[in-house]
Amino acid sequence: MNADKDRLRLIFHGAIVLLVGLLCGLPTAVEASSESVRFWHTAHEALIMIGIWMLAASSVRSALVLDRREAMALVWSFLAMSYGLMTALVMGGIIGVSPFEPGGTPATFIAFLSAVVGIFGSFVATAVTLMGVRAAMDRGMAS
């Protein structure tokens, strides 16, 4: 039952990130000559990719063998990844700078910290997914 809740949570938040990613494509059409177009284009593509990753993760969630804490870590790491990177990339588009450099203003530093949270979340999500599939493979080999 918990896997079903995790799956629905990943679908819901993945769809939100996907929607924001699609919306980030609008400034690329409107601001065709602006320098910030490059940052909006990055936000557009990256958030669509992250949303799809979360939707794909929701599809494989039931195949993973995770205890309660690991399952919770999986969902929360995906949320940290998606919302951290969404904040960083949208801020990067708004202020017209890369969110992957600390910068010299409070806004650029907040964008950078959000990117760090997102990157950390992506590593944790990947690691927990690998742990869950390894446990599933070990369980299948023991049967």
Residue spans of the domains in the chain: they are 2-142
Burial of 113 (0-12, 13-18, 19+ CB in 10 A): middle
Q: What is the pTM of this model?
A: 0.91
- Separation of alpha carbons 111 and 60, rounded Å: 31
Q: CA–CA separation, 83 vs 114, rounded Å?
A: 8
Query: pLDDT digit of tens for each residue in the chain (143 aa)?
Result: 587 899 999 999 999 999 999 999 998 887 666 778 899 999 999 999 999 999 999 999 999 999 999 999 999 999 999 999 999 999 999 999 999 999 889 999 999 999 999 999 999 999 999 999 999 999 887 65
The pLDDT value recorded for residue 1 is 57
Q: What pLDDT was estimated at residue 31?
A: 66
Q: What is the pLDDT of residue 29?
A: 81
**What is the per-residue pLDDT for 119?**
98
Distance between CA 105 and CA 89 in Å, rounded? Answer: 16
- Give me the pLDDT at residue 142, please: 62
